[in-house]
Amino acid sequence: MVMGSNLPFVKSIDPRHVLEELAQLARQHSVDFDGRIDIDSSSIGGGSAYVRLGILRPEGIKVVVKTARGGPPEDVDTIKRSIEEVHRLSKLGHENILPLLGITTKFDLTVSLVSLWIPGRNAHEYVKNKSIDPRPIIGGIARGLRYLHNQASGEIIHGNVKGFNVLISDVGGPLLTDFTLSPLEIASFSTNPDRSINWTALEVLDGQGITPSTDVWSFGMTVLELFTRVTPFSGYSGVRDVMVRVFQGPPDRPSDENTCHRLTDRWWDLCSACWNLEPSLRPTMSQIVDKITAIMIDPSQVSTNNSDNTSVPPEAKLMVEDHPQAGPVAHSQGAVYSVTIFTTEEKPLPSPVELVFTLMPEEDPKLFGGYSPVVWRILRFPATRMEHKLTLPSA
C-alpha cells in the first residue's frame, strides 16, 4: 500500500488507522511505547527530524524521541519491516551500543524512534579537548561494530558511522547510536543527512547499498575525524564539492601536529586499509579489533611528544602489575581493583603525569608481552616516587 496525495483513493485513508495498525504490530514485538511517554514541550534537534526529551512511564526513565519531519508514512509495508528491525535492535546488549527501546506513533501522525537519553556530548565534540585521547574511544567503536556485524541472527549494518553518532557515556565510554534502519530511506531519521556524505563509502555514493564493508569505510573516516578533531574533507563545502573530492581518492595524511602526534604509521595504515576502493579487500571489523588491540599494547606506538600531556617519555616505559583478582574479566558495577605502576628505568616520571589505560573486553582475555589490560582513565600522580599504588573503578 502506497500513500500519496497524487493518488485519488488515498484521500479516503485515515493515517490514524494506519498508525494504529503499525502500533499493533509493534505491540506484538514488544516495542510499542504509545501512551507511556511524557514529552518535554521543547525540541532539542533539527534537520530532518524533531528530537524531543521525554519520560518513560512507569519506569521514570529519561528517553529521546526522534520524529521524522516527513509526516505520515508513505509506504506502510516498509514501515512494518522497519518495526521488525527495531525489534532486533531492541534486543542488542553491548557496552558500546546505545539501546534502541522501540517506537511510538503518538506524535505528528508518524512513527517516532525511542531510545535512552544519554547526557553529555558526542565523540566529535568530546575530543575537541586535546587532553582527551581518542584511541580508547576508537577501540570501543570498533568493538561495537564487530558485535553488530557478527550477530548470530544475521549481520546488522550501522549505515551511518561517524563521531556525531557516537555518544560518550558518563564514564567516558563510546556508545553507537543513530542506526540506519535498512528498510527505510537513509535520511528518514537523520538530523544531518547531507553531513554524512563526508563519511560515506565511495560505492554508496555511486548508488550501491550499504554493507559491512561500507561501515568499515565510515569507521576509517571516523578514526581520522577523532584523531584530527575535524570532519573528514573539512576543506570542502557543499555536497557536490565533497562528492567530487571523495571520488578523487582517500584523504591525505594529516600532520603530526594536527593529531597531537597520536596518529602513528600503524594507525594510518589501518585507516588506509578501510578505504580500499575494492570493498572485498577491506578488513572486517573483527580483524580491525585485533589490529587495534595489537597497536594499543605496543610500547612503540605510545606518543613521545612532550607537548602531548597524555604521552609518556621514552625513558619511562610502563609496566602494569594487576591485583590478583583484577584480570581482564567482567566486573560488577561499582567494583574496584588496584594496580601498581612503575618505570623500567631509574628516572622519575614528569610531574604531574597523565596516563591512559585500556580495558580489553572479556572476550579477549590475553596478556601481551607482560602487559595486563586494565580500565582506562586519565590519572594524575606526583613523580616523587618510583612506585604508585592506584585504585581504579571498573568499566
State pLDDT tens for residues 15-70.
Answer: 455 555 555 555 555 556 666 777 776 656 655 567 888 888 777 788 888 876 66
pLDDT band at 109 (very low <50, low <70, confident <90, very high): low
Q: Among 72, 69, 31, 35, which residue's Cα sits nearest to residue 51?
A: 69
- pLDDT of res. 31: 56
- pLDDT of res. 239: 87
- 60 CB burial (10 A radius; 0-12, 13-18, 19+): exposed
Residue 105 has pLDDT above 90, yes or no: no
- pLDDT of res. 121: 87
- pLDDT of res. 64: 83
Maximum mean pLDDT: which of 15-19, 82-86, 242-246, 324-328: 242-246
- pLDDT of res. 28: 53
The grid coordinates of residue 24 equal: 499493533
Q: What does the chain come to in residues? A: 395
Which listed CATH number (3.30.200.20, 3.30.530.20, 3.40.640.10, 3.90.79.10) goes with 15-116?
3.30.200.20
What gap in Å lies between CA 164 and CA 141, rounded to an integer?
A: 12
- 305 CB burial (10 A radius; 0-12, 13-18, 19+): middle
Residues 187-211 have a mean pLDDT of 75
* pLDDT per residue as tens digits for the range 279-327: 999 999 999 999 999 988 765 555 444 333 333 333 333 333 333 333 3
- pLDDT of res. 69: 64
- pLDDT of res. 375: 37
Q: Phi and psi (nearest 5°) for 272?
A: -60, -40
Residue 133 CB contacts under 8 Å (≥ 6 apart), including other chains = 262, 310, 356, 378
Same fold flag, 15-116 and 123-298: no
Q: Which helix (H) or strand (E) holds 146?
A: helix 135-149
Q: Among 10, 14, 19, 24, which residue's Cα sits nearest to residue 111?
A: 19
Give the domain 123-298 fold. Answer: Transferase(Phosphotransferase); domain 1 (1.10.510)
Domains of the chain by residue range:
15-116, 123-298, 336-391
The mean pLDDT value of the chain amounts to: 70
Candidate from 32-36, 93-97, 176-180, 192-196 with smallest mean pLDDT: 192-196
What gap in Å lies between CA 290 and CA 301, rounded to an integer?
A: 15
**CA–CA distance from 395 to each of 143, 168, 226, 337 (Å)?**
15, 13, 21, 11
Residues 208-233 have a mean pLDDT of 96
What gap in Å lies between CA 390 and CA 386, rounded to an integer?
A: 13
* pLDDT per residue as tens digits for the range 382-391: 444 434 444 4
